[in-house]
């Protein structure tokens, strides 16, 4: 067994205690200051599913709001969002941001044309606007869903899914998230689905990044990976540093 597989096997052994550590973290961050609860954006993907499941275990379903935020989203993601809600007892609501997206993009394109990636990032920022409106009204915190793998290469939208109040999964690689998902009862359809930020039709994380999550997670866990993947990973890490730090000030 290589170092990567050995690490994952060891995580599997200790996954129950890791889950409890993360549940306790959520309680400390929300109950400690006397806040009402948590808001989680639900994408139909594994990271938001694990985050929501941890929040429900920590706070109870009556204090967690999951928000499905379609914007011309694929049906499979909506179906998986509902499967998750049914599986973990999540209070799931829907706010369709498609109309807002349709209204704002033409106004911006009156200044300059937007490519598919920028339009996708605009969807992500509109989604975060909704989450903060709900959190503001309820006195809740917005809980981030970005994992260690995504954060390392900046695979999140600044002002979108890269913006939140707390993050209970930031130290987990994508492979560890999958192991934790099974422990928490996340539906199999979500665990096995190709990861996607649902920014445009057919979009997948690995296709957009240019390497696999195994390439990335092997580097993070063992320090070794395919040379061509390592070059691309370190390039993305370098140019996304601004996403991981507070803005420079003088």
Q: Which residues are annotated as a binding site for deamido-NAD(+)?
A: 125, 158, 165, 242-243
Q: Which of 17, 18, 31, 47 is catalytic?
A: 47
Known binding-site residues for ATP equal: 41-48, 145, 174, 196
Q: Which of 80, 144, 150, 215 is catalytic?
A: 150
Residues near 96 by beta carbon (within 8 Å), at least 6 away in sequence? 69, 70, 71
Please tell me what DSSP assigns to residue 166.
Answer: B
Annotated binding site: 41-48, 125, 145, 150, 158, 165, 174, 196, 242-243
d(CA 12, CA 176) in angstroms, rounded, equals: 8
- C-alpha 174/C-alpha 195 separation (Å) is 10
Residues of the binding site for Mg(2+): 47, 150
C-alpha angle 33-140-147 in degrees, rounded to nearest 5: 95
Query: φ and ψ at 14, to 5 degrees?
Result: -105, 15
| HEC readout, 78-132 | HHHHHHHHHHHCCEEEECCCHHHHHHHHHHHHCCCCCCHHHHHHHHHHHHHHHHH
Per the rule left: phi > 0, alpha: psi between -120 and 50, beta: everything else, 210 is left
Is 31 an annotated catalytic residue?
Answer: no
Q: Is 208 a catalytic residue?
A: no
35 CB-near residues (< 8 Å, 6+ apart): 139, 140, 141
Q: Which residues are catalytic?
A: 47, 150
């Amino acid at each position: 067994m290589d170092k990567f597989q050995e690490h994952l096997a060891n995580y599997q052994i200790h996954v129950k205690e890791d889950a409890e550590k993360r549940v306790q973290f959520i309680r400390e961050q929300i109950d400690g200051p006397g806040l009402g609860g948590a808001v989680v954006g639900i994408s139909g993907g594994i990271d938001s599913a694990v985050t929501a499941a941890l929040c429900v275990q920590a706070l109870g379903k009556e204090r967690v709001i999951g928000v499905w935020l379609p914007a011309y989203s694929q049906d499979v993601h909506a179906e998986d969002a509902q499967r998750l809600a049914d599986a973990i007892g999540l209070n799931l609501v829907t706010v369709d941001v498609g109309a807002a997206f349709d209204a704002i993009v033409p106004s911006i394109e009156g200044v300059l044309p937007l490519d598919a990636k920028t339009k996708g990032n605009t969807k992500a920022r509109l989604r975060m606007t909704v989450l903060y409106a709900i959190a503001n009204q309820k006195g809740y915190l917005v809980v981030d869903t970005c994992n260690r793998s995504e954060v390392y290469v900046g695979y999140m939208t600044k002002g979108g899914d890269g913006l939140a109040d707390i993050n209970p999964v930031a130290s987990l690689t994508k492979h560890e998230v999958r192991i934790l998902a099974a422990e928490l009862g996340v539906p199999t359809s979500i665990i096995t689905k190709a990861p996607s930020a649902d920014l445009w039709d057919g979009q997948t994380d690995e296709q957009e990044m240019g390497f696999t999550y195994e390439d990335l997670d092997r580097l993070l866990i063992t320090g070794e990976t395919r040379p061509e993947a390592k070059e691309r990973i370190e390039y993305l890490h370098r140019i996304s540093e601004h996403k991981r730090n507070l803005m420079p000030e003088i």
